[in-house]
Amino acid sequence: MEDKQRKTVLHKVFQFYYEGFKRMRLGRTLWAIILIKLFIMFAILRVFFFPNFLKKNFDSDKERSEYVIEQLTTPKK
Amino acid sequence: MEQMDLSLVDWSRAQFALTAMYHWIFVPLTLGLAFLIAIMETFYVKTGDEFWKKTTKFWMTLFGINFAIGVATGIILEFEFGTNWSNYSWFVGDIFGAPLAIEGIMAFFMESTFIAIMFFGWNKVSKKAHLAASWLTAIGANLSALWILVANAWMQYPTGMRFNPDTARNEMENFWDVLFSPVAINKFLHTVTSGYVTAAVFVLGVSSWYLLKKRETLLAKRSIVIASVFGLLSSLFLVMTGDSSAKQVAEKQPMKLAAMEGLYDGTTNAGLVALGVLNPQKEAGDKRPAFLFKVEIPSALSILSFGSSSAYVPGINDILKGGYMYTNTDGKSEIAKPTAARISDGKKAIAAFGSYQTAAKAGNRTEASQHLGVLNDNFKSFGYGYLTHPKDIIPNVPLTFYSFHIMVTLGFFFIALFVASLFFAFNDMLTKHRWFLWISLLSIPLVYLAGQTGWIVAEVGRQPWVIQDIMPSVAAVSRIDTSSVMVTFMLFVLIFTMLLIAEIGIMLKQIKKGPEGEH
């Protein structure tokens, strides 16, 4: 019984979003812009241009902290 | 670190500034327009008049365009923290982690859920439930802003943390000190209120365009009244929080205040520059006049900064030389140290930090404890140790000065604009004064200029610090190729320009279509 009720609620929520997206007109253009933007951000910029410097170059927090300590305490030549 | 390629720091700063300024094109309108929409919908629910529903839906569509183009542009800033500012990110990780995590969760759940009800929920949920979703979207958007502004305020006035010398991280000691720091509260109120003024001017300007075109007259007139009342109240509050901000800057960031006012030599009864042209030849320490021309309000700077005309306001030269009395962050009066002495203290702190590491690794506890004592004693000047010359603590004075004066002038101009629009609206004179409608329309770019210059004052004015007195930008930046930062900078210029053209294009098209256009 509870399971059935939960399914009905989930179905209603799904229908709410489904109908909302289906009826969109200007919203479709906006969603297209959002998705293209998110793709550029996460699939291109994040992957190819913005790796996390410390995560990429060091395996553990200990190594990361040692690197930063060295950076902060040793003048570079 | 002292030999760091300065162009890397400059490009990294330029890239961060570009991203932050682009992000701030969208945020203020979202923050304010959400409330204006909620107010208009409240009229609809209270009166049942379909006119208000149509008006609400029209402004909601413009809100949706702005939200869609602007959403997630702030995420790029987080990418930049990890790539370009890794030393800084590590150094502040714990302090930034909590507010940013809360911001992310709140933004996702509150805004996404309630925005969906706002746009999809007409005729599907009850009027009151829809209205609640609209108000919660507005509140949620503003609360999201709270967390990022708390993080920014901490950088301006670090508090509630303890530096862990074993990990080189600042750890949060008291979450509430960070959240309720006076700088954080004021920064939040001042910043979100500036967003309300932005939205009010936007609604006023767009509505004025309709009146100029003799279209949508009722929608335009009523929107102007709501926007002007909202804008006027917000502007008055903005003046109050601006005044509190200036007092905090005077106390906690005196160099920023000196740059904001182009004040090189401190004085009691310091005047506030109402209008002025800086002398471009002026350098700290020389005898040249600071201004080619200025109009001053006598004693106003002393009064506004410290509440008394006899209060001494230190100038750039005084801060470099030290020797004047000031109230420190613990509320005690003390003599300001010369910047050269603070650089020396900072270098002691850095050396002690390094020696502590060596002693701790060797297991020499006594020696480690001694070095730790020196580090703690001088930690307040830690960041100064990365500077080479006292003049390094002077920010870009012309940029800070002119930005501050543009922001303040526009702030008062908007008050006059809202008062005038209410006067014309209540006397049914709006359509008779086309010049005023043109001024209102042309004020839209001006309100964005005011917001951007406000952030320039806040951020350029506190250079060289990324964390006030603790870390300068030269120590915060990652050691990566300058060319890679230049490439991504150019890439962002291209992407941001395209997105901005898309936003303005879609927005203008929708405004031309008017409330009967598609949603």
**pLDDT at residue B86 in the model:** 93
Tens place of pLDDT per residue across chain B (519 aa): 444 566 899 999 999 999 999 999 999 999 999 999 999 999 999 999 999 999 999 999 999 999 888 877 888 888 899 999 999 999 987 677 777 777 777 776 776 788 888 888 888 889 999 999 999 999 988 988 888 899 899 999 999 999 999 999 998 888 899 889 999 999 999 999 999 999 999 999 999 999 999 999 999 999 999 999 999 999 999 999 999 999 999 999 999 999 999 999 999 999 999 999 999 999 999 999 999 999 999 999 999 999 999 999 999 999 999 999 888 777 788 999 999 999 999 999 999 999 999 999 999 999 999 999 999 999 999 999 999 999 999 999 999 999 999 999 999 999 999 999 999 999 999 999 999 999 999 999 999 999 999 999 999 999 999 999 999 999 999 999 999 999 999 999 998 898 889 889 999 999 999 987 655
CA distance B63 to B54: 14
Give the pLDDT confidence score for residue A77 in this predicted structure.
Answer: 41
Q: What share of chain A is helix, strand, coil (3-state, %, to 5)?
A: 85, 0, 15
Name the interface residues of A facing B (CB cutoff 8 Å).
Answer: 16-17, 19-21, 23, 25-27, 29-31, 33-34, 37-38, 40-41, 45-46, 49-55, 61, 64-65, 68-69, 71-77
Across the interface, of B1, B83, B488, the residue whose CB is closest to A76 is B1
Could you say which of B168, B488, B495 has the minimum Cβ distance to residue A65? B168
CA distance B349 to chain A (A): 10
Hey, what are B306's tokens? 């410290």
Which residue's entry shows tokens 């995560």?
A55
Is A72–B76 a contact, with Cβ atoms under 8 angstroms apart? no
Question: Among candidates B284, B208, B183, B248, which has minimal Cα distance to B436?
Answer: B208
- Cα angle at A34 between A31 and A40, to 5 degrees? 140
Inter-residue contact B54 to A28 (CB < 8 Å): no
Candidates B79, B357, B473, B516: best to mutate against A (most CBs of A within 10 A) is B79
CA distance B210 to B218: 10
Q: Residue A32 and residue A38: Cα distance in Å, rounded?
A: 10
Q: Residue ranges per domain, chain A? A: 9-73
Q: Which of B373, B332, B70 minimizes the C-alpha distance to B195?
A: B70
Residues of B in contact with A25 (CB under 8 A): 518-519
**Residues on chain A touching B518 (C-beta within 8 angstroms):** 25-26
pLDDT value of position A76: 53
Q: What is the pLDDT of residue B192?
A: 97
For residue A2, what pLDDT is reported? 66
Q: What is the residue-wise DSSP string for B72-127?
A: TTTHHHHHHHHHH-HHHHHHHHHHHHHHHHHHHHHIIIIIHHHHHHHHH-TTTS-H
Indicate yes or no: CB of A26 within 8 angstroms of CB of B61. Answer: yes
Question: Collapsing DSSP states into helix, strand and coil, what is residue B306?
Answer: helix
Neighbouring residues of B199: CB distance < 8 A, sequence distance ≥ 6: B28, B29, B31, B32, B33, B35, B36, B227, B230
Q: For residue A31, give the chain B residue with the closest CA.
A: B68
User: Coil, helix or strand for B370?
Assistant: helix
How many of the other CB atoms lie within 10 Å of CB of B406?
18
Report the pLDDT value the prediction gives residue B249, as an integer from 0 to 100: 95
CB contact under 8 A, B68 and A30: yes
**What's CA B232's distance to the chain center, in Å?**
20
Interface with B, mutate which of A34, A46, A69, A77 (most B CBs under 10 A): A69
Contact: A50, B357; criterion CB under 8 Å: no
What are the helix and strand counts (H, E) for chain B? 18, 10
Inspect the interface and report whether the beta carbons of A69 and B168 lie closer than 8 Å: yes
Closest to B79 (Cβ–Cβ): which among A26, A50, A55? A50
What confidence score (pLDDT) does residue B5 get? 63
- Each of the 77 residues of chain A gets a pLDDT tens digit; together they read 666 776 788 888 788 777 777 777 777 888 888 888 888 888 888 888 899 999 999 999 999 999 999 999 985 54
pLDDT of residue B517: 64
Q: Do A50 and B82 touch (CB under 8 A)?
A: yes
Which of B61, B167, B499 is opposite residue A37, by nearest beta carbon? B499
Per-residue model confidence (pLDDT) at position A17: 78
Contacts of B167 in chain A (CB under 8 A): 61, 65
For residue B18, give the nearest of B394, B500, B402 by alpha carbon. B500
